[in-house]
C-alpha cells in the first residue's frame, strides 16, 4: 500500500468518525432538560434493533421497558451542563452512562457514547402515557 493510499484511508476514516457532529445538531444541556423532562419516548437500540419505551420524569426518574422481553429498569437521569450530555444512572449501578445527543432533521435523536451511535429516540409523547 502506498503512503498516499494510507493517508487517504486515514483521512476518510477520520471523516467517517466525526460525521455525526458535522451532520447533526448536538443538543445543549438546557435543550436536553426541556426536551426530555416529563416525556415518554419510543427508542431503538442500534446494536440489535430492539425497541423500548422510556419515561423521563420531570424530577429526574427514568423508567424503561424493553418490548421484546418486557424487562423493566429504573434509575435517575440528568442533563449535565459541563459536557452537554444526557446522563443515566440505572438502579444498582454507581457509574452514570452519559450520551451526546444529536437532533436529526426528521425529529429523531441519536444517542452517542464514546463516538458510537448506541440508540435512537424515534418518537416523543408528553407525559407518562405508558404508565411506567
Sign of CA dihedral 67, 69, 74, 79: negative
Q: Is residue 50 part of a domain?
A: yes
The CA distance from 15 to 99, in Å, is 20
Q: Is residue 132 part of a domain?
A: no
Range of the domain at 49: 25-126
Domain count along the chain: 1
Q: Is residue 9 part of a domain?
A: no
Residue 106 has pLDDT above 80, yes or no: yes
Q: What are residue 75's DSSP bridge partners?
A: 62, 90
Q: Is residue 97 part of a domain?
A: yes
Task: Report in angstroms the alpha-carbon separations of 70 from 24, 75, 90, 95.
Answer: 32, 17, 17, 24
Q: Is residue 12 part of a domain?
A: no
pLDDT tens-place string over residues 43-82: 999 999 999 999 999 999 999 999 999 999 999 999 999 9
Q: What per-residue confidence (pLDDT) applies to 5?
A: 39
Q: Is residue 14 part of a domain?
A: no
Residue 109 has pLDDT above 60, yes or no: yes
Q: What per-residue confidence (pLDDT) applies to 14?
A: 35
The CA distance from 78 to 56, in Å, is 10
Which residue's entry shows cell 443515566? Answer: 88
Q: Is residue 38 part of a domain?
A: yes
Q: Report the CATH number that the domain containing residue 103 is assigned in CATH.
A: 2.40.128.640
Residue 108 has pLDDT above 50, yes or no: yes
Q: What per-residue confidence (pLDDT) applies to 25?
A: 85
pTM: 0.78
The CA distance from 23 to 99, in Å, is 17
Q: What per-residue confidence (pLDDT) applies to 131?
A: 87
Helical H runs in 42-116? none
pLDDT tens-place string over residues 7-33: 334 333 333 333 343 346 899 999 999
Q: Is residue 117 part of a domain?
A: yes
Amino acid at each position: 500500500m502506498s503512503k498516499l493510499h494510507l493517508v487517504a484511508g486515514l483521512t476518510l476514516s477520520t471523516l467517517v468518525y466525526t460525521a455525526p457532529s458535522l451532520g447533526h445538531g448536538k443538543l445543549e444541556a438546557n435543550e436536553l432538560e426541556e426536551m426530555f423532562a416529563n416525556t415518554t419516548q419510543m427508542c431503538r437500540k442500534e446494536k440489535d434493533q430492539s425497541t423500548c419505551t422510556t419515561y423521563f420524569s420531570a424530577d429526574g426518574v427514568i423508567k424503561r421497558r424493553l418490548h421484546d422481553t418486557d424487562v423493566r429498569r429504573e434509575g435517575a437521569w440528568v442533563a449535565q451542563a459541563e459536557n452537554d450530555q444526557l446522563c443515566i444512572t440505572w438502579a444498582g449501578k454507581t457509574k452514570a452512562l452519559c450520551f451526546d445527543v444529536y437532533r436529526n432533521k426528521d425529529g429523531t435523536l441519536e444517542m452517542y457514547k464514546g463516538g458510537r451511535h448506541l440508540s435512537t429516540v424515534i418518537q416523543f409523547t408528553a407525559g407518562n402515557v405508558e404508565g411506567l
